[in-house]
Amino acid sequence: MDAPLVQTCRHVWLTAPGPGALAVVRLFGPDALSLADRVFRPSRQPERPLSATPPRRPRLGRLGTFRSPTPTTPTGLTDNSDTHNHNHNRVEVGDEVVAIRFDDDPCQPSQVEFQGHGGLAARQAVEAILEAAGSRPVPARVWRIETQGLTTIQADAYDDLAYAPTRRTAAILLDQALGALDRDLDSLERLEADDPACAADLRATLFQRFEVGSRLISGWNVALAGRPNVGKSSLMNALAGHARAIVSPQAGTTRDVLTVPLACDGWPMTLFDTAGLRDQPSDDLEAQGILRARNAQTQADLVLLLLDSSQPLEPLDLALLHTYPNALLVATKADLAPHWRAEDLPTTRKLVSLSALTGEGLDRLLDRLAQRLVPNPPPAGSAVPFRIDHLTQLNRTNRAKLSG
Ligand SMILES: Nc1nc2c(ncn2[C@@H]2O[C@H](COP(=O)(O)OP(=O)(O)OP(=O)(O)O)[C@@H](O)[C@H]2O)c(=O)[nH]1
Ligand SMILES: [Mg+2]
C-alpha cells in the first residue's frame, strides 16, 4: 500500500452523525482531487479517474484503500486489462458513494464531495479511509470560513443554527449567518468617529440584545412554585400537552424536580415542576424535595408563583409573595368558586387567572411569560450578538474609542 502523501487536504462532514439517509463529506485543499483519485474507484470506466471527470458531474463508485493508483498505460491510454478485476487491488473496502468535483471556481480552493450512506458504521468506514490517505477532519466552521468566505460570526451562526430549538430562534441565527451582526459591527466602527452618540446607542442596543442572543439555543428556565396541591403539576401537564407529572389530591405528591421543554411565542424554555413548599415537611423525603425545589427556583430566570383561588389564602402564600418578589403570579383552579380576589393580595402585581383543568387562561399565561422573558424582541433581520466573544468585540470598539 502506498504511504499516505503529505497532503494539504482536509475534510468536513456536512451531515450530522447518526441514522440518516445520506452522509456527506467534503474534501478541500490543494490536494483534495489527487487524494480523491487515490481513494475513489468509479463503478463504470474505473480507468477514468475523478480528475478526468468534468466538475459538478456525479460519478458512482466505491471508496477504499487501494494498492495502486488507477492504472493507465505508459502512453496515457487506459489499460483495460484491469477493468474487470479492478477491485482486486483494493485493500480496504469503504462505502459506495457518489463523488463530485467542485473545483471550477477559481476563487475557491479545490473541493470534492462524497455522498455516502447514512449511519454511523458507513460513515466511520469513510472516515478511516480518508484519514489513512492523509486527510484531516476539521469542524464545519473551518470549512465555512476557508471555502465559503464567511466571517467567524457567520460561521458560528450556521453552527448554532443546527441546534436552534424553535423557528423564531432559527430565524434570528439565520439573520446573523447572512451577515446582520457583521454589518452592525462595521457600522459601529465607522460611527465611533463620525457620530459617537449614535454609536453609543447602537452599542447599548446590541448589548441588550445579547440577553436574547445568549438564549437562542439554551432558552430560559422557568420554575413553578407554591404550596402543595395548588396545581403546579397539573399546570405543567396542561402546558406540555401530556401527563408528564403525577397529579393527585394528596398534598406533597411531587418530590423530584421534573422538566419539560416548551416554546412560548417562539422562545424556547424549560419548565421546572417542583415539590410543594411548606414549613413542616411530613418526612425526610419531602424535606429533600423542598430543598431541590428551592434550588430550582433560585436558579430559574423566572418563577411562576401559584396560588389556589379555590382555597383561602394561607400565611405561607403571603410569605412566598415576599420570598419571590419578581415572580409571575398565577391564580389556579379558575373553574372552581373563588375564595379570594386579586384585590385581597397585599401586592399590586398583575395576576394571571387560569384553570389547568379547562385550559382557560393558558394562552394569557404564555403571552405574559413571553413578555416577561423577552420584553424587547429584536426586529426581524436585526443584529443580535449570540456568543460572549461578540460582547468582547463590542467592548473592543468601545476601548478603541476611549483610548483614541
Ligand atoms: N378543579 C380543578 N382542579 C385542579 C386544577 N388543577 C389541579 N387540580 C387538582 O388539584 C389537585 C392537586 O393538583 P397537583 O397538580 O397535583 O398539585 P401540585 O401543586 O403539583 O401538588 P404537589 O405536587 O403536592 O405540590 C389534584 O386533585 C388536581 O386534579 C384545576 O385547574 N381545576
Ligand atoms: Mg406536583
pLDDT (0 to 100) of residue 245 = 94
Ligand 1: does its nearest atom lie under 6 Å from the Cβ of 255? Answer: no
* 359, 291: one domain: yes
Contacts of 403 (CB under 8 A, 6+ apart): none
The whole-angstrom separation of Cα 257 and Cα 272 is 6
Residue type, 25: V
Q: 183 with 307, same domain?
A: no
Same domain, 74 and 182: no
- Are 364 and 226 within one domain? yes
- Closest ligand 1 atom, residue 306 Cα: 19
Average pLDDT, the chain: 90
**Angle separating helix axes 32-39 and 120-132, nearest 10 degrees:** 120
Spacing, Cα 213 to ligand 2 middle (Å): 32
Distance 196 CA to ligand 1 centre (A): 56
- Regarding whether 338 and 266 lie in a shared domain, the answer is yes
Mean pLDDT of 104-120: 89
Residues 369 and 232 in one domain: yes
- Residue 199 belongs to some domain of the structure: yes
Residue 105 lies in a domain: yes
Domain boundary, last residue among 107, 123, 148: 148
Q: How far is the CA of 256 from the centre of ligand 2 (A)?
A: 9
Computed on alpha carbons and rounded to an integer, the radius of gyration of the chain in Å comes to 30
Residue 97 lies in a domain: yes
Using most ligand atoms within 8 A of CB, pick from 230, 232, 234, 248 the residue to mutate for ligand 1.
234
Is residue 379 assigned to a domain? no
Asked if 369 and 226 sit in the same domain, the reply is yes
70-91 confidence digits (pLDDT tens): 544 333 333 333 444 444 455 6
Residues 157 and 268 in one domain: no
Give me the mean pLDDT over the 265-285 stretch.
94
370: cell is 413571553
Q: Cell 453609543: give the residue.
A: 200
Q: Is 337 in the pocket of ligand 1 (CB under 6 A)?
A: no
Residue 2 inside a domain? The answer is: no
Residue range 41-69: average pLDDT? 91
Q: What pLDDT does 106 receive?
A: 81
Q: How many domains does the chain have?
A: 3
Q: Which ligand is nearest to the CA of 232?
A: 1
Residues 132 and 272 in one domain: no
Nearest CA residue ID for atom 11, ligand 1: 249
Flag whether 1 is in a domain. no
* Lateral strand order in the sheet of 22-28: 40-42, 59-66, 90-102, 111-117, 22-28, 10-13, 136-137
Residue 388 in contact with residue 179, Cβ under 8 Å?
no
- Is the pLDDT assigned to residue 44 strictly greater than 60? yes
- Domain containing 359: what range? 220-373
* Ligand 1 close to Cβ of residue 357 (< 6 A): yes
Domain boundary among 148, 170, 204: 148
User: Are 60 and 136 members of one domain?
Assistant: yes
Look at ligand 1, atom 14, and give the residue with the nearest C-alpha. 231
Q: Is residue 189 part of a domain?
A: yes
Q: Is the minimum distance from the CB of 274 to ligand 1 under 6 angstroms?
A: no
Task: State whether 225 and 338 are in the same domain.
Answer: yes
If you average pLDDT over residues 173-186, what whole number do you get? 97
Predicted confidence at residue 401, as pLDDT, reads 54
| pLDDT single digits (tens) 321-352 | 999 999 999 999 999 999 999 999 999 999 99
Q: Give the domain CATH number at 26.
A: 3.30.1360.120
State whether 143 and 25 are in the same domain. yes
> What CATH number does the domain containing 245 carry?
3.40.50.300
pLDDT, one tens digit per residue, over 122-169 is: 999 999 999 999 999 999 999 999 998 999 999 999 999 999 999 999
The last residue of one of the domains, among 148, 169, 198, is 148
Q: Is 233 in the pocket of ligand 1 (CB under 6 A)?
A: yes
